[in-house]
Amino acid sequence: NAGVTQTPKFRILKIGQSMTLQCTQDMNHNYMYWYRQDPGMGLKLIYYSVGAGITDKGEVPNGYNVSRSTTEDFPLRLELAAPSQTSVYFCASTVNTEAFFGQGTRLTVV
Amino acid sequence: AQTVTQSQPEMSVQEAETVTLSCTYDTSESNYYLFWYKQPPSRQMILVIRQEAYKQQNATENRFSVNFQKAAKSFSLKISDSQLGDTAMYFCAGTTSGTYKYIFGTGTRLKVLA
């Protein structure tokens, strides 16, 4: 049982490039989330999904897009990367209020 | 709106001693859940303890316990017999039923000294 798996673990992007952060879970959870963690700060919600085909914005959605075509996968798309998107990104899923987090992706935009 | 406030950016404690980390949580919801997460240098988010707001009894997990004062909106974490492996960032978080979106505090960096 792998839990929540994120790829890649590290990535350096140039300003203006695009990329997709992958997230998959094998626990059949309906609820999935993307958070970002800036240095010295707590996690802030970017987007979330309550089931396949349903997504909604969180606190800091600008510059990101998501899709949820299956229960297992919840990719996060960055279009036109900016230095302000340098952060650590966490994917999570929840069941009965308990959250399960991936290992995080450290993204640097230069 | 929900808010989570951690007012102690950094703390240190001697090995084997006890330390208390503070958190306040504000929400208009009556049914909510509170958590403490540990984040070691590996970045992994590890659940330490959880508390359901409707439960009057404070949660306990081995050396970790909480003091949940509902009226004061206070949710502190007590770590007894501190160990070097407890050195980490600790986040207080809350969520409500429905979408289960988590709101996190800014964290407290705890260092256990040998």
Residue B104 distance to chain A (closest CA, Å): 5
Q: What is the pLDDT of residues B4-28, one digit of tens each?
A: 999 999 999 999 999 999 999 999 8
Proportion of chain B above pLDDT 90, given as a percent: 83
Asked if the Cβ–Cβ distance from A94 to B100 is below 8 Å, we say yes
Range of lowest pLDDT (A1-5, A87-91, B78-82, B91-95): A1-5
Asked if the Cβ–Cβ distance from B104 to A44 is below 8 Å, we say yes
> Does A110 have pLDDT greater than 80?
yes
Query: What SS3 class is residue A85?
Result: helix
Instruction: Count A/B contacts: CB-CB distance under 8 Å.
Output: 58
> Does A40 have pLDDT greater than 90?
no
Proportion of chain A above pLDDT 70, given as a percent: 99
A 3-22 residues with CB < 8 A to B: none
pLDDT at A1: 64
pLDDT at B30: 85
Q: What amino acid is encoded at A41 in this protein?
A: M
Q: Is A73 on the interface with B (CB under 8 A)?
A: no
In this structure, how many other beta carbons lie within 10 angstroms of the beta carbon of residue A100? 17
Q: What is the pLDDT of residues A65-106, one digit of tens each?
A: 999 999 999 999 999 999 999 999 999 999 888 899 999 999
Closest C-alpha among B18, B49, B11 to residue B33: B49
Give the span between the Cα atoms of A17 and A108, in whole angstroms: 12
Strands B103-104 and B88-96, bridge-based pairing: antiparallel
Residue B32 distance to chain A (closest CA, Å): 9
> Does B56 have pLDDT greater than 90?
no
What pLDDT band is residue B2 in, cutting at 50, 70 and 90?
confident
> Does A10 have pLDDT greater than 90?
yes
Nearest by CB to B101, from A41, A42, A48: name it: A48
